[in-house]
Structure 1
Amino acid sequence: MNNEQLVELITKEVINKLKTMLMDKNMAAKKKVLVLEHKETLCSELTLSLEKNNYIVDCIDNMGDLSSYEGIILQNIKNGELANLAHGIEGSIKEKVVIQAIFNGNKLYSMKKGVEYRKFEGTSNRLFFNMFKEYEDKLMSYGIEFVGLKELIESLNNKPICLEEPTCKTLVKNDIETVEVKENKETYIDLTNKKLVSEVELRTIFNQGIKEVLVSKKSIITPLAMDFARVNRLKINKG
């Protein structure tokens, strides 16, 4: 092997090493989420959307330590699972992981389209249907966010859901009324029409520069929402 061939070989080795290091660095920079499904039942639309936003998607078959995930996602939630989780019952692997994640304070999401009982709203006995609605409300009070795909990505990326600039002093967005207080030029949010206030909503409000919210005395504020408000000094007034 002459000097020219040796230089060429060394150059190729260096380039390959740099490529490997770059790939490892990119993988390390990506954040992970856990979708509570087996690999063969993962929703391709959900998985592709998460991967497109630079998330590594794990499933039940290869899940790691729960603390390593930015979010834990319930792709589907059957009626029995909803009832069990509302009462803190551990049956399936999925239920055990969700209950442990609640105890750990992990971010938990349930995809709205995957909530089974909602499909029977038009046919079910109303009292029976409302019983499952109460189960869902319980899970929301435990900190589980029921979201669409867009809301999921925005919450994981810590981006506000409402991005439009207000064009007037009073603007209604997603059932949230924004009112400007003329005396000090600050703003507050009126959430008195909300039965349940989630961490996602408070994060969205905070990212818009709002420092104060008004809620009903009967409103349920999730534990994650209370933690977020306390850490970020977001004032919550009950009216």
Structure 2
Amino acid sequence: MIDPKLIESIVREVLGQIETNRESPKSRLLVISKQGESIAKELSILESYWNVVSGNIQENDSLPDVQQAVFLNVDQTTLVKAALGFTDTLENKRFVQLMTMEIPISFVLDQTLQKLIQTDGNEHRYSGYLEHIRAYKNTIESFGVTFLRLEELKPLKESKPSHDQIQRKPSKTLITQEKVDNHTGTELVVKQGTIITPLAMDKARELGIKITFL
């Protein structure tokens, strides 16, 4: 026989998780890429965790309100200019704006640059050149910018609610035995769609409380 208390516990946890998700909207992420570049695949991945905002806006447009920003498929030109503070491209102007506004920034390198930076300099003819490129990356990291793979890019403050947090969170759509037990009066009026656990129904009958749906 299924334990009614177990059912009530499961229902409470599921509904608590639903309400937590409803009250925790996704963080807004500004996505910046090269003009005309197709990033549909990247956006579909990011939208699992973020409310994505396009960063490919016109030069004179103000930046939208966002929690974080990411530059996709960063090539060597963008990397070097960002390290040196150049603002002669729209991408680098956005970089300076975001730095000024103290918005957390992440870089996702394109495959060519990623491969170049990961190359073993000890076995390369032009090891000095490789170190030179890595130095630009290190400079940007010293600004506070993070270098990530696309799948690693998640909200900084994202945290899964603990079991205890869910249990403590009151549900507006669930009537439990405890709520019935604490109810004063002979009638309990609830909204349509409210879930009443079996233990709550038993307690209401025991106490002579009538449950009425609006």
Which TM-score tier does this pair reach, normalised by the shorter chain? 0.5 to 0.7
Residue of structure 2 in register with 1:223 after alignment: none
Asked if 1:95 is matched to 2:92, the reply is yes
Asked if 1:158 is matched to 2:155, the reply is no
Q: Return the alpha-carbon distance in structure 2 between the equivalents of residues 124 and 47 of structure 1.
A: 38
Aligned residues: 132
User: Aligned to 2:86, what secondary structure does the other structure show?
Assistant: coil
Q: Return the alpha-carbon distance in structure 2 between the equivalents of residues 106 and 36 of structure 1.
A: 13
- Post-superposition shift, 1:78? 1.7
Asked if 1:79 is matched to 2:80, the reply is no
Alignment of 1:50-199 (within 5 A): 50-61=46-57, 65-66=62-63, 68-112=65-109, 114=110, 116-120=112-116, 121=119, 125-153=126-154, 155-159=155-159
Residue of structure 2 in register with 1:36 after alignment: 32
- Provide closer, same or farther for how the CA distance between residues 62 and 46 of structure 1 changes in structure 2, counting only shifts above 3 A: farther
Moved more, 131-140 or 84-93: 84-93
User: Aligned to 1:35, what secondary structure does the other structure show?
Assistant: strand
User: Aligned to 2:85, what secondary structure does the other structure show?
Assistant: coil
User: TM-score, with normalisation over the residues of structure 1?
Assistant: 0.47
Higher RCO, 1 vs 2 (CA within 8 Å, ≥6 residues apart): 2
Residue ranges of structure 1 left out of the alignment (5+ in a row): 1-25, 161-239
State which structure, 1 or 2, has the greater radius of gyration over its C-alpha atoms: 2
Residue 82 of structure 2 aligns with an amino acid whose one-letter code is L
Question: What do residues 22-80 of structure 1 show as CA deviations (whole Å, max 9, x unaligned)?
Answer: xxxx9xx4542221125742423320122122413313137964361121111022212
- Provide closer, same or farther for how the CA distance between residues 69 and 124 of structure 1 changes in structure 2, counting only shifts above 3 A: farther
Indicate conservation of the 8 Å contact 1:66/1:106, yes or no. Answer: no
Question: What do residues 126-169 of structure 1 show as CA deviations (whole Å, max 9, x unaligned)?
Answer: 1101101010010011111001223212x445349xxxxxxxxx
User: Aligned to 1:75, what secondary structure does the other structure show?
Assistant: strand
Residue 146 of structure 2 aligns with an amino acid whose one-letter code is E
Question: What do residues 57-104 of structure 1 show as CA deviations (whole Å, max 9, x unaligned)?
Answer: 313137964361121111022212211111111110000110121121
Q: Return the alpha-carbon distance in structure 1 between the equivalents of residues 41 and 148 of structure 2.
A: 15
Q: Return the alpha-carbon distance in structure 2 between the equivalents of residues 83 and 142 of structure 1.
A: 14
- Provide closer, same or farther for how the CA distance between residues 150 and 78 of structure 1 changes in structure 2, counting only shifts above 3 A: closer
Q: Return the alpha-carbon distance in structure 1 between the equivalents of residues 90 and 126 of structure 2.
A: 30
Indicate conservation of the 8 Å contact 1:36/1:72, yes or no. Answer: yes
Q: Return the alpha-carbon distance in structure 2 between the equivalents of residues 140 and 71 of structure 1.
A: 16
- Provide closer, same or farther for how the CA distance between residues 138 and 51 of structure 1 changes in structure 2, counting only shifts above 3 A: same
Residue 138 of structure 1 aligns with an amino acid whose one-letter code is T
User: TM-score, with normalisation over the residues of structure 2?
Assistant: 0.52
Residue of structure 1 in register with 2:42 after alignment: 46
